[in-house]
Structure 1
Amino acid sequence: MKSISNITTILASCMLGLVSSVVAQEEKANQPDMQQQEASSKIQEENKDIPTITNPIIFNEKDLDKLKEKQREYVEKHYPDYRIKGKGEENDIMDGHRYSFFYLENEQGERVMTIRFDIEEAYQAYMKKHQKEIKRETEKLIKKGIIQIG
Structure 2
Amino acid sequence: MAEQEIQQSKNQDSSQGSIGYILMGGVVGAGVGLLSIPGTAQKLYRRVQHSETGQIIAKELCRNVQQLIAHQAMAVVQQAAPDYLNKAKNRLSGKSSHESEQNRTEEDSQYEVVKQENKQINQRLDQIEKKLDELLHVND
Greater per-residue helix proportion: 2
Greater per-residue strand proportion: 1
Q: TM-score, normalised by structure 1?
A: 0.26
Q: TM-score, normalised by structure 2?
A: 0.27
